Amino acid sequence: MTTVHGKFFSNSNKEYVSTAVFQNVKEELGVELDATFVENLMKIMAETYSNNERPKNMEINEYVSFLNEKVVQQCLEKVKTSASNVDYKKISQRAAEERNYDFAKKPIQKHQEKEKEKEKEQEKEQEQEKPKKVYTQQYYQKKDNHDENMTIILDFRKDLIDVDNKSYCLKLHKEANITCIILKKFMIELCDTIVSEPYIFVDIENINDNEKSCFVENKKVIGRMVQQTSTICNKTMYLYDQEDCKIELKNPIKTNHLYFSFYNYNGEKLDLKKINLKKVIKIEKSELNQLITEGINIVKPGENITVTTVSKTKDKKGEYWECSPLKINETKSNSIICSQLPSMEQGSKMLLEKKILNSNISLAIFYKN
């Protein structure tokens, strides 16, 4: 499946954009760029991709061309404001040519050239398969004349009101008659069940499946989010950026909460709170225990996690679960040091969960009053 991310950041497109940037800078500003500018170019491409969203009715190739043009323009501006060897005489000359205002040319010659330029422009317009579209900020903020909108950030630490079967219910700032939702970014603290996934699928369960068009395996979801290459907040927070995570509702829903769920590439539901326990080690000559985890999880000394022991009933036909809080004394890369563990019967197993989920998701909501 061809995606905007894959097409825009493909080797062929990066080579195309870099060639266009180097040529335009040379022609427009008289500056010869070298290989050191490539790093700046890659940053500008990443920022351009993150700061724009593809309209639903726009084809991928057309949108990639739109992004490429923005990258070239931003690179020109960057060189113009930062390079010391800009040929301002050349800039002035080009501006004069664009205005057909050159004192060195005779009036008849200028008129002839002006007519030729008009013919070239007309031919260029006829050759274009589709008219060039300019997408303004208003395009993204207004779906139609009847819809209001709000961009919100839902924080799992304060807006999470329920967790049910790995689904996370987040309260909205107010009740709204929702007509469209655009997921923007998802940020989560280091958690081995999700950060090992290069991309995830996101669903909102209280939206009817008939409204959704994206699939993961046989499950309908809102769309896909791609993990960014860079981490933030001292490398403890991971960021996922949306890729076509937009849904327009034929039948608006009136609600003050949304149920989010997250899936991997296999369509398996992800548990954001789970800490995968590998083994428990009793530290010698100490009352401390070391819990070795499958992957790195960010938990802090002084925090509480939830410990659940699962044991067989006396008749061996069922199970009973017992939950208790566990205070963390110390943490290392993939281990948790604690002083007291609940007593466990032989054959029982232990499950660990984060009590507080340090995560947030940003989205734009369109609604009718």
What confidence category does residue 259 fall into, taking pLDDT thresholds of 50, 70 and 90? very high
- Quick one: angle between helices 37-50 and 60-82, nearest 10? 130
Q: Are 322 and 316 in contact (CB under 8 A)?
A: no
Q: Per-residue pLDDT tens for 80-95?
A: 887 666 555 555 555 4
CATH 2.60.120 fits 145-271+359-368, yes or no: yes
How many Cα atoms sit within 13 Å of 67 on the Cβ side?
30
Q: Does position 121 have pLDDT exceeding 50, yes or no?
A: yes
What confidence category does residue 327 fall into, taking pLDDT thresholds of 50, 70 and 90? confident
How high is the pLDDT of residue 144?
47
Rounded to whole angstroms, the maximal C-alpha distance in the chain is 105
- Cα distance between residue 236 and residue 80, in whole Å: 36
The residues spanned by each domain of the chain are 4-127, 145-271+359-368, 274-354
What confidence category does residue 180 fall into, taking pLDDT thresholds of 50, 70 and 90? very high
The residue type at 28: E
Beta bridge partners of 279: 292
Q: Per-residue pLDDT tens for 135-170?
A: 344 444 444 445 788 889 999 999 999 999 999 999
Is 0.95 topped by the overall pTM?
A: no
